[in-house]
Amino acid sequence: MTKEQNAIIEVKGLAKSFDKTIALDGISFSIQSGELFGFLGPNGAGKTTTINILTGLVRPDAGIFQIGGIDCTKNVQSAQHLIGVVPDESNLYPELTGFNNLCFCGALYGLTKQERQNKARKLLDTFGLSEAASRKFGGYSKGMKRKLTIAAGIIHSPRILFLDEPTTGLDVASARQVRQLIADLHKAGTTIFLTTHYIEEAERLCERIAFIVSGRIVKIDSVEHLLEPFQRKQAMQIACIKDTSFIQPKLSETFPDMSFIFSKNNMIRVEADKPVFAGAIVRFLEEQGIDVSEARRIRPSLEDVFVQVTGIESDALRKEKEKSGMGGKS
Amino acid sequence: MKAWIAFWNILLKDMRSYYLKPPNISWGLLFPLVWITMFFIRSGLGMESLPKLLPGLVALSILFGTTSVLSVTVTFEKKGRSFERLLLAPISLEVLMLAKTSGAILFGTINAFVPIFVAMLLTDLSAVNWAILVPATILIAISSTFLGLFIAVSVKEVFEAQTFSNFFRFPMIFLCGLFFPVKQLPIWLRPVSYMLPLTYGADILHTSINQTSHMPLLLNFSLLTLFCAALFTFSLRNIRNKWII
């Protein structure tokens, strides 16, 4: 599949409320064909609701949307053959084997027996699940379940793939594999709509990102453009042995060109418009009786953009998600 | 063609995963068999009385075979979110739900013929009008299945599906004229009886097996078909309004 420079998903003024809770408050965005688009936001921001509306599982209260040039506002069914969905929870059939699950999902999209069996074998091989092909899905590990769920989402070679929190709850190795699979799918030309709460994952994978908070898109741009204002800044992180907050006034007084952000875990983030030299600050801290365990230059990341745009600490976002487990509508 | 592939595979998966499993056979066959044996022994009559009990046995086999599994599995799949997979498939809701119910209809129909074959071995069934019995059995299986679907889409929890099924099934057994004519019911209970699809199904079964009827055959078939259409339409409306919110 080749990348075409036209919008494959177009959303205008999409709104949805559940009872009195506003889940989406008139969001608008468009996704180009072949693009890997990230949707980033805390729990309850409206990420899953957006996916559910675009895939036909939830009806919008207002707004219009097109998928592949088809107006899907009233009925998504006409575009469902273009879509593959990987939900936030693995929802395949526990009583079926991995192979049979994939074949069944292929059959739902009208693949012939030969087509779906060939595709299932190929996908099981690609996802490293060939040996578990004849085992029941219910007995798979979390990582294996996630991989098979992704495989089920792409068995019919969809032009657009919706991935809802694909790496949540996975161990490091499995998450890495899943990320590689997403990158490969993107390279092959599939348009990907990815929701995640892992900022570094979005930064690494996505071309454009939308930050969504309380049902509103607060920022939408390419990763490059989002990072641009932060690239000019110099930043350093200093890890201290004990509490350092008391030193803030003195530090600001001694280094007036720099700004200091103190976090609870005895970390000091130093930011300035000109190069920051660790030596002077470390010496100053040690003179004040504060032992420094590490001082390192940090490159600006999407996390900085996220914190500035949403006002939400990225650590808080991660903890909140971990506390709530994998599922939950957002 | 593509919709047909999806339809066939949903039906096949449900048959393998749910209907051909031992617990379902116990509900669909064992329960009606025990129930009728109890009636048979209590009546103290011989094998020649078997045709009298056959409509009841056939109806109960269908009713329990269809409603027991469908109402529970649809609720279970909805709860486990695997039903979302079906809703995401590029097939219409009508085709999807017909595929989901076809397994139950097929199982209910097969269930109905088990007691018929057993009765054929034990007694003379030469008086049976097969041209009426076969379509009636299928139509009763369809209406019972759609009743199971109606139950499934009206509840949220699996245990509610079972309880709600019994709320319909047990009164229906006594009020539909299977074991005693509707005319023998107190007058105030008769309207309830006429609101149950099985009343019309039971009357057709009596006509085809024992040549005794309460209402015209065409009226029975028409009303039973109407019940099927109404239950299916209402269930689809419920899915559209409650599940695709």
Residues from chain B contacting residue A91 (CB–CB below 8 Å): 80-82, 84-85
pLDDT, residue A320, reads: 56
Longest C-alpha distance within chain A, in Å?
Answer: 75
Q: What pLDDT score does A330 carry?
A: 41
Of A55, A89, A112, the CB nearest to B88: A55
Helix or strand run (H / E) with residue A235? strand A234-240
In this complex, how many residue pairs, one in chain A and one in chain B, have their CB atoms less than 8 Å apart?
66
Instruction: Give the minimum alpha-carbon distance from A80 to chain B in angstroms, rounded to a whole number.
Output: 5
Query: Measured between CA atoms, how close is B92 to chain A, in angstroms?
Result: 7
Q: Residue A104: which of B2, B9, B87 has the nearest Cβ? A: B9
Q: Which of B1, B17, B89 sits opposite A95 (nearest CB)?
A: B17
pLDDT of residue A319: 59
> What local confidence, expressed as pLDDT, does residue A78 receive?
87
User: What 8-state DSSP symbol labels residue A130?
Assistant: G
Fill in the DSSP letter of residue B182: G
Strand ranges across the sheet with A208-213:
A83-86, A160-164, A191-196, A36-40, A208-213, A216-222
Task: Give the tokens for residue A144.
Answer: 């294996």
Q: Check A77 against B92: CB less than 8 A apart.
A: yes
Judge whether A7-228 and A234-299 match in fold: no
- What single DSSP character describes residue A79? G
Question: Is the CB of B244 less than 8 angstroms away from the CB of A58?
Answer: yes
Q: How many CB atoms lie within 10 A of CB B157?
A: 13
- Residues of chain B whose pLDDT is less than 70? 1, 27-28, 245
CB contact under 8 A, B82 and A91: yes
Residue B241 is predicted with a pLDDT of 86
Domain boundaries, given as residue ranges, for chain A: 7-228, 234-299
Q: Do A109 and B2 touch (CB under 8 A)?
A: yes
Closest CA of chain A from B78, distance in Å: 10
Rounded distance between C-alpha atoms, residue B101 and residue B145, angstroms? 6
Inter-chain CB proximity A112 and B92 less than 8 Å: no
- Residue type for position A98: G
Distance CA B44, CA B131 (A): 31
CA distance to partner chain A, nearest, from residue B2 (Å): 4
A157 contacts in chain B (CB < 8 Å): none
> Cα–Cα distances in Å, from A275 out to A234, A260, A298, B94, B212?
6, 14, 12, 66, 100
- Which one of B1, B5, B236 would you mutate to disrupt binding with A, by most A Cβ within 10 Å of its Cβ? B5
Q: Under an 8 Å CB criterion, which residues of B touch A?
A: 1-3, 5-6, 8-10, 13, 17, 80-82, 84-92, 244-245
Facing B90 at nearest CB: one of A81, A87, A91: A81
d(CA B76, CA B22): 18
What pLDDT score does A5 carry? 55
Q: Residue A66 is encoded by which pair of tokens?
A: 């097109």
Under an 8 A CB cutoff, do B82 and A107 touch?
A: no
Look at residue A327 in the predicted model and tell me its pLDDT. 36
Residues 184-243 of A with CB under 8 A from B: none
Tell me the per-residue pLDDT of A35-71, one tens digit each, with 9 for 90 and over: 999 999 888 889 999 999 999 999 999 999 999 999 9
CB B7 within 8 A of CB B91: yes
Residue with tokens 């998903």: A9
* Minimum Cα–Cα distance from B7: chain A residue: A108
Q: Which residues, in sequence order, are bridge partners of residue A163? A: A86, A194
Give the pLDDT of residue A2: 44
CATH code of domain A234-299: 3.30.70.100
The verdict on A111 touching B (C-beta cutoff 8 Å) is yes
Q: Which pLDDT belongs to residue B132?
A: 95
Interface pTM (ipTM) of the complex? 0.86
User: Of A118 and A277, which is predicted with more confidence?
Assistant: A118
* Structure confidence at residue A175 (pLDDT): 87
DSSP conformation class of B117: H
Mutate to test the interface with B, among A108, A117, A137, A145 (most CBs of B within 10 A): A108
The confidence band for A103, taking pLDDT boundaries of 50, 70 and 90, is very high
Residue corresponding to tokens 């129930």: B35
Cβ atoms of B89 and B146 closer than 8 Å: no
- Model confidence pLDDT, tens digit, residues A138-160: 999 988 999 999 999 999 999 99
Distance (Å) from the alpha carbon of A159 to chain B's nearest alpha carbon: 14
CB within 8 A of B106, min separation 6: which ones? B11, B15, B19, B141
A277-311, pLDDT tens digit by residue? 788 888 888 888 888 888 888 877 787 788 777 77
Domain A7-228 class? alpha beta
Contact across the interface for B245 and A58, Cβ inside 8 Å: yes
The full set of domain ranges for chain B reads 2-243
Q: Do B5 and A93 touch (CB under 8 A)?
A: no
Of A241 and A319, more confident? A241
pLDDT digits (tens, 9 = 90+) for A157-183: 999 999 999 988 788 888 888 899 899
Percent of chain A with pLDDT over 90: 49
pLDDT at A271: 83
Rounded Cα gap, residues B210 and B212, in angstroms:
5
Model confidence at A1: pLDDT above 70:
no
